[in-house]
Amino acid sequence: MTGVRTRAVAVGVVLAAGALAREGPGPAFTLNLDPLRRVPEHWLVWTELAPLRTNLAGLSAIAVASEGRFAIVAGRMLRRGHLREPPARDWADELPGPGRAAAFAPDGALLVALDRTWVEYPPDGVEPVEGPTLSSSSRLTSIVATTGHVWLADFGERLVWVFDRRGTLRAQIRGADSHGFVLPSAHFDLAPAGPDQVWIVNPGELRVELWTLEGRRLRHWGRPGVAIEGFCGCCNPTDIAVLPDGSIATAEKGIVRVKVHRPDGVLESVVAAPAQFAEDTVGLDLAADAAGRLYVADPARRAVRIFERRAGGSRP
């Protein structure tokens, strides 16, 4: 009798499992993110302008100089141009390896990060110069060029390298806590904060940190949460940029959106809501120009999207 009862229970489990497979897990086990993707209208104070269309697969980086020059990186392709000139005046270069990030230096030079080094394109048009080669496990994800230094976020080594413009190593920033920077995925971004300071994203901790050249963390902000003011998921924000007034733009994956925060981290506005992006978009590189416009490299659309704050636009 014991064996019969056991077999009967086993058959019941198989039948129940079959029904579950046919019907799905049911609403109690389904995560509905739609309410989290909605953004109240009072946060949305930006207008989207005509984009820079690239038609390039693998769009990974956008950089904009103060006088209007721009650079777009997609795979091994570097496209350069001027925002005030027609697209026909753009020109393209082939990079020596896949490009990962780009930044303009204060002197006008353009720097493009590859996996383990960077290439500098001087403003006078002379031949580009490669920087030193980093470790075999390096994987660069971001680059910042200040007056005297080149800052490189290295996902592979979990640190930020700081070189002088001649390529001499000056510092390594490894994070403040015993576990350093927490990087569950290859989203490790930088933005300039002054001649000897830089904003560093610590995505696994869901925060942005201000660091000095000497390796001191001055402050940090960001908190986990599904509300519009927080960062959710395993590793957000993915990308940042500093606007002329010192506010900081952030891009997120998962619930895809672009926001602007005051330097102390208080949410100031939403640039683009999740409904404005393809649902699985990842890797929205950001840049800002001197007029405060925000540039968003959207790989799903193969375009750089441009946003401008509406006149008088501010949240209540």
DSSP string, 234-251: SS---EEEE-TTS-EEEE
- The confidence score (pLDDT) of residue 195 equals 87
- At residue 37, the 3 state secondary structure works out as helix
DSSP at 231? B
- Residue 18 located in a structural domain: no
pLDDT (0 to 100) of residue 314 = 55
How do the pLDDT tens digits run along the chain, 316 residues long?
Answer: 444 443 333 333 333 444 444 454 555 444 556 666 788 899 999 999 999 999 899 999 999 998 899 999 999 999 999 988 876 566 789 999 999 999 999 999 999 999 999 999 999 878 999 999 999 999 999 999 998 999 999 999 999 999 999 999 999 999 987 789 999 999 999 999 988 999 999 999 999 999 999 999 999 999 999 889 999 999 999 999 999 999 999 999 999 999 999 999 999 999 999 999 999 999 999 999 999 999 999 999 999 999 999 986 555 4
Identify the pLDDT of residue 10.
37
User: Is 226 in a helix, a strand, or coil?
Assistant: coil
State the alpha helices, DSSP H only, in the chain. 2-23, 34-37
Note whether residue 102 is domain-resident.
yes
- 186 vs 68: CA distance, rounded Å: 29
DSSP state of 195: T
CB neighbours (10 Å) of residue 266? 10
CATH assignment of the domain containing 120: 2.120.10.30
| Model confidence, pTM | 0.87
* Residue appearing with tokens 């080594």: 157
Quick one: 160 exposed, middle or buried, by C-beta within 10 A (0-12, 13-18, 19+)?
Answer: buried
Counting DSSP H helices and E strands in the chain, the numbers are: 2, 25
Provide CB contacts within 8 A for 153, sequence distance 6+.
Answer: 101, 140, 141, 142, 143, 160, 188, 189, 190, 200
SS3 151: strand
Please indicate, yes or no, if residue 31 is contained in any of the structural domains: no
270 lies in a domain?
yes
**pLDDT given for residue 245 in this prediction:** 96
Domain ranges, residue 67: 39-309
In the prediction, which pLDDT does 12 show?
39
Q: How far apart are CA 92 and CA 80, in angstroms?
A: 6
Tell whether 125 is covered by a domain: yes
Q: How many distinct structural domains can be found in the chain?
A: 1
- CA 227 – CA 36 distance, rounded (Å): 7
Q: Is residue 103 part of a domain?
A: yes
The encoded tokens of residue 157 equal 């080594």
Question: Is 265 part of any domain?
Answer: yes
121 lies in some domain: yes
